[in-house]
Chain A
Amino acid sequence: MDSKNYIASGILELYVAGVLSEKENQEVYEAMQKYPEVKAEVISIENAIVQLTKASKTDSPYSFADVQNQLKTDEPKVIPIAKPKTNWIQYSGWAASLLIGSILIWTLSQNNQLKEQVATERQQLEAQIDSASTNLAAAEKLIEVFRDKDIISVPLAGQKVSPTSYAKVYWDKKTNSIYLDAKGLPEPPKGKVYQVWSLKLSPLTPTSLGILDTFTADANKIFTITNANESEAFGITLEPAGGSKSPTLEQLYTLGTVSS
């Protein structure tokens, strides 16, 4: 850079006016450090402007005292002592409120969780009570059936296929229904189902009373079946799923005659 041309360009006058860009200011500053003549020129221009502007002052001289008593001078001494103290109080205040806030939120969520748990448990309990009372009602009904003098009890004994099997029929002629207690029958193999028959003995005429397709699912294995026949005996056979038109006698599990 040629300092003479640089000076002559007029950039230094603009520099003192304060109208250059940040980049240009930086550039002039570097030139001033590098070339003493540039620096001297800047100082001269500045002096001229200082005097020119001074001439525009029209009132009486000012005193620095007016400014001085408004300057904050003790700041650097006060700050290091005062600041950490206030900060500590401020921070601990914030920390405390944060802590309280998070405890509150945690408590609320805990409370909600407990409420949900109580609701679920209550529901389960209600379901248990419900099923218990249903079971009780069923049991009472059974007892009633067994005690009724008008009900005919027919034990069914195990046959050749399954000698250990047994069952019992309680026949209520007034309501034309039988209660079959099939607890003594084994679980039917997959794809097979027990079928209940009402039999007339001479000649042997079987009438299907229905299939026990809910056998596996039924807990007490007691089935209520409609029976309007003049039955002389009851039999249970194992049949393919869906049942058969006539009993498969080779698969006769239990049989019992009605005592007259």
Chain B
Amino acid sequence: MNQELLILQFQKKDVKAYEKLYNMYCDSISGVINNIVKNDAVTQEITQDVFIKAWNKADTYSSKKGRFFTWLLNIARNAAIDYTRSKKFKQKKQNLNADFFVDILESTKSLDSETNTIGLKEFVTKLGDTCKSVIELLYFKGFTQKETSEELDMPLGTVKTRNRTCIGELRTMLGV
């Protein structure tokens, strides 16, 4: 079914349509959250919260303001970052060592059966450090272009073109 139609039905509180959208994006949202909180149980809890929150504020989404996936991504990152600011997280943090999505990809032993993920793992390992950092900050951490430029000590315009190159390599590998 057409994605735009699905979104419209979701905004009219159609649960069936929402289930389809959920299946499209729940793993990605979970991945982003996991990258920030680094705890399976917490990740599952926050992912559920994000999809409940998105349902409750469905009417605030407008396709003119951005992609539906980007909208979900924002809710997820904010929810995860809120959690990292809580006491609960600070107590658990000492056991964590993986700081980047790359580390998570490399340290995960039992990935699901999707071949893409296995290929992705190989690809990501080969990515340059700059690409890893740019992708990490822009997509996983929700940094702005300016914040990324400051964090990586890179000119503002370079962030934009470098990111384009990195995503281009990723797409070639994934065939999208």
Contact = CB atoms under 8 A, between A and B. Distances in A.
A157 B30 CA distance: 128
A62 B13 contact: no
Contact of A58 (B40, B64, B65, B160): B40
Given A50-B69, A53-B32, A55-B120, A10 B43 contact: no
Interface stretch (A66-74, A203-211, A220-228): A66-74
Contacts of A230: none
A82 B171 CA distance: 52
B105 A55 contact: yes
Interface in A1-29: 8-11, 13-20, 22, 25-26, 29
Identify which of B55, B65, B108, B139 gathers the most chain A CB atoms within 10 Å of its CB: B139
Interface stretch (A39-47, A95-103, A130-138): A39-47
A78 interface: no
B167 interface: yes
Contacts of B163: 10, 13-14, 17
Chain A interface, >50% SS class: helix
B100 to A, nearest CB: 10
A70 B164 contact: no
A44 B174 CA distance: 10
Question: Which 7 pairs, one residue from A and one from B, show the smallest C-beta to C-beta distance?
Answer: A56-B31, A10-B164, A53-B28, A59-B40, A10-B160, A57-B31, A18-B70
A62 B30 contact: yes
Contacts of B140: 53, 56
B120 A42 contact: no
Interface in B148-162: 160-161
A9 B121 CA distance: 28
* Chain B, interface residues (CB within 8 Å), range: 35 or more
A54 B76 CA distance: 13
B40 A64 contact: no
A71 B68 CA distance: 19
A202 interface: no
B176 A71 contact: no
Contacts of B18: 71
A58 B31 CA distance: 7
Nearest to B3: A43
Contacts, number: 162
Nearest to B118: A55
B105 to A, nearest CB: 6
A48 B51 contact: no
A225 to B, nearest CB: 102
Contacts of B144: 19
Nearest to B65: A25
Interface string B68-108: 01110110000000000000000000000000010011001
Nearest to A66: B48
A127 interface: no
A80 interface: no
A10 B31 contact: no
A44 B31 contact: no
28 contacts: A8-B164, A9-B164, A13-B138, A13-B163, A13-B167, A14-B160, A19-B138, A19-B145, A25-B64, A25-B65, A26-B65, A29-B63, A46-B70, A50-B69, A51-B116, A52-B120, A52-B170, A55-B120, A57-B34, A58-B34, A58-B40, A59-B34, A59-B43, A61-B112, A67-B55, A68-B15, A70-B48, A71-B15
Contact of B138 (A9, A11, A14): A14
Interface in B12-59: 13, 15, 18-19, 22-32, 34-35, 40, 43-44, 47-48, 51-52, 55-56
Given A14-B160, A50-B28, A62-B47, A22 B67 contact: no
A57 B30 contact: yes
B139 A53 contact: yes
B143 interface: yes
Nearest to B148: A19
Contacts of B56: 72
B135 interface: yes
